[in-house]
Amino acid sequence: MADKRGSRVADRTDAIMRTTLELGQEVGYAKLSIEAVAARAGAGKHTIYRRWPSKGALFLDSLLSLNEPELNYPDTGDIEADLREQIHAAVDLLSKPPLGPLYQAVLVEAQQDPQVAEALNERFIGPQEEKTIARLRKARDQGQLSSDFDLSLAMALLSGPFYFQVLIARQPLTREYVDRVIEAVFAGIGPKAPPTAGG
């Protein structure tokens, strides 16, 4: 009985989040309202507010719950190739329609609503950082990264350039651009040691 009720609650939660995304894609984030989500999902407004304190929190949860698995890191044993693959997937998902404009709306909301900012970090940025660090730590242990590399900088170095391109420079992110950035982050911009004799 408790299990059945738990499963009904989970179903309803899923239905509310799916409806939020559907409506968000139809009307855009700015015009999305919790009232409209409740009406279409056949749920009470209070049911929604009990679980999510704001439109931003509901929206972020909806965006992430349904798509998180896509942003895991592969482990083929080649860290640079695995990062490329994961970042291509993240860029496809988060910077292009249908979800791109909605993710961008969440980022804007996070600048204005501390609850959304906190949810963004707890639900997405933090967990992505953990996954990124776990994959990079393994690579570092295998000698595929500099032994000096400070893993706590990973997200800033490997995500920062792409957020900058989209949000600040407002340039489209191509796979070719992603690959060039990853290559530069691996190689470093400093002068290279001269090749050793015969190298």
Which residues of the chain form contacts with its own copies (CB under 8 A)? 80, 104, 107-108, 110-112, 117, 120-121, 125, 143-150, 153, 155-157, 159-165, 167-170, 180-181, 184-193, 196
Q: 11 is written with which tokens?
A: 């179903």
Residue length of the chain: 199
Would residue 145 be called left, alpha or beta, if left means φ above 0 and alpha means ψ between -120 and 50 degrees?
beta
What minimum distance in Å lies between the beta carbon of 63 and its own copies? 15
What minimum distance in Å lies between the beta carbon of 120 and its own copies? 8
Of 65, 60, 58, nearest in space to 41 by CA? 58
**Is the Cβ of residue 69 or residue 188 nearer to its own copies in the bound state?**
188
Distance CA 152, CA 106 (A): 24
What minimum distance in Å lies between the beta carbon of 181 and its own copies? 6
Q: 139 is written with which tokens?
A: 């690579």
**Is the Cβ of residue 72 or residue 146 nearer to its own copies in the bound state?**
146
**Is the Cβ of residue 67 or residue 121 nearer to its own copies in the bound state?**
121
The one-letter amino acid code at 19 reads T
Residue whose token pair is 């957020």: 163
What minimum distance in Å lies between the beta carbon of 35 and its own copies? 23
**Is the Cβ of residue 20 or residue 165 nearer to its own copies in the bound state?**
165
| Sign of the dihedral through C-alpha 167, 171, 177, 183 | negative
What minimum distance in Å lies between the beta carbon of 68 and its own copies? 17
Distance CA 171, CA 174 (A): 9
What minimum distance in Å lies between the beta carbon of 113 and its own copies? 11
Distance CA 59, CA 127 (A): 18
Q: 190 is written with which tokens?
A: 């400093």
**Is the Cβ of residue 38 or residue 178 nearer to its own copies in the bound state?**
178
**Is the Cβ of residue 5 or residue 76 nearer to its own copies in the bound state?**
76
> 92 burial class (0-12, 13-18, 19+ CB within 10 angstroms)?
middle
